[in-house]
Chain A
């Protein structure tokens, strides 16, 4: 399981790096557009690219964001007794993995739909479906990261108990 987690985190990290790259590109394109506009030659479709780029940054960065500990949650009130804590942990993990899996599936499905209907961006007409697939992929990896994390704490909990 540890080996599998390393692989998943490796993938998340790689996607995180790409996310940074896209963010850099977004910044660069906007600057070029602003400077170019000053001389009467803006970059066509910057509006499209920045919106779509933002979506790509987020899709690519989601999983690593979780791994890097960027989480927004309240502290669990269910710390004792131990069995309640474990039950709540199982429930939360199942719901989280389920929700992320659903979102991921629907992103792929929406991507399929946009592919079928050949939807492109407003101005420079970039096909939109790859970005929905990317969102689906990002959500999937995020989902797997959460799942693996859960399985590992679950197993650790069992070994802890056996050791007791």
Chain B
């Protein structure tokens, strides 16, 4: 067992909500192995999947209290708590998980918001863009009008901004709900077509262009725990995180591609909106960004710079 063993070996409990069987979970296993290897076995990471160690909603507390040593933190699960970084969850229009991932890490390096001061951010990941998967075709934005789309949290504003009707329900309920028609679609990345099997119950997929958003999720430790590690271990680990960002960024693209391939096999059709409708999507995202700027201003935080940084970053790297 790992307890009370060699004092030079630190065993860290790594809590995640991700389920085994997911590609992203496999990557996390790889990450743990690699850390162990690079630190010469001095750091051992033990993964606890499927929220078996701590509920996802309270990852922040779990990490600070020491329930877990490393946590998989979804910023939008504790809204209000991380105001400035909320921008990364808003519709910025990134078309790829890799771009979102790089943007998020670059944003963090630049802004280092005070709200995260108790945390050591190992690396941040942005999943593939949240787009809509529906039972009826959405060939033009008007088709979306009144359609019931499953989403919660920040997605609600996006969905209603596009004229659809947001429906809130638990994620595991969604498959059944779409099949029966309680919801007529879902706002999710393409990987969900495979990972949540939505391809079995939807028939069409439509990107939202300027209204694309990505879930911002970080792998974190408490600063205290991090600082307790030997300095050379921290150096090795930090260096590895830098390399790792590239690896996971690619993985999110691959995950979406696999989702798309699975969907195509199930007969799901990939649709596209006209240039005009694409502009409307971008316009629908505007009030959400403006609202963010306003709220940050009230808190004395650099909201405007934050938005500008993100939009410029994407513009420079995306057609």
A residues at B contact (CB < 8 Å): 37, 40-42, 44-48, 110, 113-114, 117-123, 125, 127
Contacts and interface: CB of A to CB of B under 8 A. Distances in A.
B135 interface: no
Contacts, number: 49
Nearest to A38: B148
B152 A123 contact: yes
Contacts of B60: 117
Contacts of A119: 78-81
A117 B78 CA distance: 9
B80 A125 contact: yes
Interface residues of B, number: 20
B61 A121 contact: no
A118 B146 CA distance: 33
Given A40-B146, A123-B152, A123-B153, A46 B168 contact: yes
B168 A48 contact: yes
Interface of B: 60-61, 76-81, 83, 146, 148, 152-154, 156, 165-169
Nearest to B148: A37
B168 A123 contact: yes
Given A45-B168, A117-B78, 12 more contacts: A42-B165, A42-B167, A44-B166, A110-B61, A113-B61, A117-B80, A117-B81, A118-B83, A119-B79, A119-B80, A122-B154, A125-B80
A123 B61 contact: no
A40 B80 CA distance: 29
Contacts of B148: 37
B76 to A, nearest CB: 7
Contacts of B76: 122
A110 B57 CA distance: 13
Contacts of A121: 79
A-B pairs, top 5 by smallest CB distance, nearest first, are A47-B168, A122-B153, A120-B80, A117-B81, A118-B80
B217 to A, nearest CB: 15
A120 B156 CA distance: 15
A42 B80 contact: no
With most chain B CB atoms within 10 A of its CB, the pick from A44, A45, A117, A121 is A117
B113 to A, nearest CB: 13
A114 B154 CA distance: 19
B220 to A, nearest CB: 15
A40 B165 contact: yes
